Structure 1
Amino acid sequence: MKLALHWQIAIAMVLAALAGVLGGADAHLFGIRLTDSYEFVGTLFLNALKMLIVPLVVSSIISGMAGIGGDKLERLGGKTLLFYTGSSLIAILIGLAVVNVIAPGSGDTQELVHSLSGDDPELAATLAKVEGRSASDIVQVFERMIPTNIVAAAADGQMLGLIFFSLLFGFFLARSHSPYAGTLTHFWQGLMDIMTEITLWVMKFAPIGVFGLIAKTVATTGFDAFIPLLKFFIAVVLALALHTFVALPLALRFIAKVNPVKHYQAMAPAMLTAFSTASSSATLPLTMECVRERSGVSHRTSGFVLPLGATVNMDGTALYECVAAMFIAQVYGLDLSLMQQFTVVLVALLTSIGVAGIPAASLVAISVILGTIGLPLEGIGLLLVTDRILDMLRTAVNVFSDSCCAVVIARSEGEDTLLR
């Protein structure tokens, strides 16, 4: 009996954690440092996934759009944006409630504040990335939407521009009276079918790739540094869990009227891969495969909803930004008023969309929030120890939220999914 893919990935993650803990960062085998070996294997897998993104997204959107009418497109787009905005707002409010109840930054925080005063090269490098960022960076999301060069956008991984171009191409392909329109439609459909097959082949190596990614992370990060930030870590994990296991399943049950447990089972490979890669975009090929083949959402709906979600829908990131900003405020002894907390919620919602394509996106967003409420950027240094693990967790939440949206939209469009 063949072991299901999600169990293979789960076992690989457990073995990787053991290997990382037992070997540590400096272990060698045959003169080769183990962490270098882990990184090599993980990078190969990650590169293979990234290789699929552009052709899969473009072909999926264009072939899906070719069968959608103008009225249907407006309806589909409106529902998608409404769900993404609503789920992100709910995630942020959950984070705000949890961080106010647990108050991870309250109590004796002198040691934490003192830790920011030293010469930390990692903190200096991080601050260099976020220095000068402001809420005006949110406007860049509209600039990235219309690329000047579609080939350059594909090379640079500017997904929002690619999505916009693909939507336009598919929209006008569906309305073209050219004798070659049918040929083009078959071409994009054939390309999508082939990319799907390649995705399935790449996923056979997922357990090996996940092992390398997790083992490298555990070996280099360790767990000792987490102790001073344990309350903050618990607050973020609890808030993410409430959103993933309470809020989103309620949407599946009462809006889509499907079985949430079946959707968890369907999305397990994608969520585990998202956790190990910490990249919604890199996981997109597998997310689309799971939603289509395991949840039963049509190519038309998934091809529109999921690429857009992987680019702009960041529930886990938005939640984390809110909790992190509130935590830093508590550490510095700042008691935020309701209006200031509302500002945090609003900026977190906007930045989770607007700065998603910028390197160190979540830290950039947090720096914008800190500047808005008048806190020093050095507070970001408190987040660096736990950032990698929490990045992995919030990415898994981002991916699951995207998949929930696809199921909800599919059911609202009258599709009969496999989740009943």
Structure 2
Amino acid sequence: ARLATIRSWFENYWRRNGLLTLSILSVIAGCLLGFILRTTQLSALEKQYFSFPGELLMRMLKMLILPLITSSLMSGLATMDSKACGKMGLITITYYLWTTFMAVAVGIMLVIIIHPGLAVQKDNSHRSGKPILSSADALLDLISRNMFPSNLIEASFQQYRTNLIPVVKPFKESQRLSGKPLSFVYVVPDDGDPELVQHVVLAITPSPDMMYKTVPGTNNEMNVLGIVIFSATIGLLLGKMGERGTPLVNVCLCLNEAVMRIVSVAVWYFPFGIVFLIAGKILEMEDPSMIGKKLGLYAVTVVSGLLIHGVILLPSLYLIITRKNPIPYIRGLLEALLIALATSS
């Protein structure tokens, strides 16, 4: 009788938390394996071959993102009532804005308290000549250029990003008398004679004297926002079309069911792939102790912010709004959160 009870308990536990348990063990095993293999001094080619199962996991995840988003949004919104969908959308946007505001406030307070930049030795982007992104351009890229991509096919693998490229101008002493603020002055080799040097001035913020030029660029990541907006719009319109939109809704439903079956099979590869993914990333580190010294305070700031926001603020908000215990809800999310943590996704 005891053996039957233990067996029944184990089967129920495995059915509910088997994948979560395997994922946790995989994260631990990946960390241990990575640090153990660092002592073997593997070559770059051997590290690449060793990381292949982890690379396969990431490719599998990226492969499923596009069909999963499009099919689930189109089929889900097409079968919803338009009034209920509008109310749900308003509640979602309001909730997202308030929780984002809370996250920003927590982040600002932690940065003021901890000062994570004190331990980081990084090049100044203005002095290194790298592209600079202003807040205004970032906002415009988000609300217009990425929400409404000019090419939907391109949005499946690229994001639009506006870069500000510093324009170097010869510095003249008369510029000091013009009353214009100067950020810093340095010397560079003369284009005509490398043995000579010329003074150069570079401004920190864009100014009317064209010290910066705007250059359209791209980021090699999927434009999820644009795909979500397009899929949601198509789904809402299909729901309003009635019988004429039924064939395409059925296609989306069948595609969503097929993708979910692929996901249900693929998730059992996650624990195996996570081991090699984490171990491979640890092997790629040149000096983990130096990285820890440089990014230690930064990591403490990020993890503290996530814990405050995810363990205190969001559960409290859930408790206030729903009057329910947030622990069962969080338990249902642990598997997804752990996979996101292990894959940095």
Where is the strand percentage greater, Structure 1 or Structure 2? Answer: 2
Q: Which amino acid aligns with 1:193?
A: E
Report the CA distance shift for 1:37/1:255 in structure 2 as closer, same or farther (over 3 A): farther
State which of 321, 326, 336 in structure 2 corresponds to 1:255. Answer: 321
Matched length: 265
Using the aligned pairs only, state the percent identity. Answer: 24
State which of 258, 280, 300 in structure 2 corresponds to 1:194. Answer: 258
Q: Which segments of 5 or more consecutive residues in structure 1 lack a partner in the other structure?
A: 118-122, 280-420
1:150 partnered with 2:162: no
Larger relative contact order (CA 8 Å, sep ≥ 6) = 2
- Per mean C-alpha deviation after superposition, the further-off stretch among 154-163 and 46-55 is 154-163
Given that 1:145 and 1:164 are in contact with CA atoms closer than 8 Å, whether structure 2 keeps it comes out as yes
Report the CA distance shift for 1:6/1:38 in structure 2 as closer, same or farther (over 3 A): farther
1:137 partnered with 2:201: no
Given that 1:24 and 1:220 are in contact with CA atoms closer than 8 Å, whether structure 2 keeps it comes out as no
**What residue number does 1:236 align with?**
302
Q: Cα deviation per residue 1:112-137 (whole Å; 9 max; x = unaligned)?
A: 58x447xxxxx88x966643545223
Given that 1:104 and 1:231 are in contact with CA atoms closer than 8 Å, whether structure 2 keeps it comes out as yes
Q: Which amino acid aligns with 1:135?
A: A
**What residue number does 1:209 align with?**
273
Given that 2:82 and 2:239 are in contact with CA atoms closer than 8 Å, whether structure 1 keeps it comes out as no
Quote how far apart the aligned CAs of 1:6 are: 1.0
Quote how far apart the aligned CAs of 1:104 are: 4.7
Report the CA distance shift for 1:189/1:32 in structure 2 as closer, same or farther (over 3 A): same
Aligned-partner SS, 2:322 = coil
Report the Cα distance in structure 1 between the residues aligned to 2:41 and 2:24, rounded to whole angstroms.
24
Given that 1:25 and 1:219 are in contact with CA atoms closer than 8 Å, whether structure 2 keeps it comes out as no
Given that 2:50 and 2:280 are in contact with CA atoms closer than 8 Å, whether structure 1 keeps it comes out as yes
Q: Which has the larger radius of gyration?
A: 2
Given that 1:38 and 1:213 are in contact with CA atoms closer than 8 Å, whether structure 2 keeps it comes out as no
Given that 1:59 and 1:192 are in contact with CA atoms closer than 8 Å, whether structure 2 keeps it comes out as yes
State which of 2, 15, 20 in structure 1 corresponds to 2:34. Answer: 20
Q: How does 1:80-159 map to 2 (within 5 A)?
A: 80-104=92-116, 115-116=121-122, 130-131=131-132, 133-141=134-142, 142-156=144-158, 157-159=222-224
Q: Which segments of 5 or more consecutive residues in structure 2 lack a partner in the other structure?
A: 1-10, 159-221
Aligned-partner SS, 1:204 = helix
Q: CA RMSD in A?
A: 2.8
**What residue number does 1:340 align with?**
none
Report the Cα distance in structure 2 between the residues aligned to 1:127 and 1:70, rounded to whole angstroms.
52
**What residue number does 2:283 align with?**
219
Given that 1:21 and 1:219 are in contact with CA atoms closer than 8 Å, whether structure 2 keeps it comes out as yes
TM-score, with length taken from structure 2: 0.68
Report the Cα distance in structure 2 between the residues aligned to 1:144 and 1:17, rounded to whole angstroms.
36
**What residue number does 1:75 align with?**
87
Report the Cα distance in structure 1 between the residues aligned to 2:19 and 2:87, rounded to whole angstroms.
35
Report the Cα distance in structure 2 between the residues aligned to 1:23 and 1:227, rounded to whole angstroms.
22
Report the CA distance shift for 1:235/1:53 in structure 2 as closer, same or farther (over 3 A): closer
Report the CA distance shift for 1:37/1:260 in structure 2 as closer, same or farther (over 3 A): farther
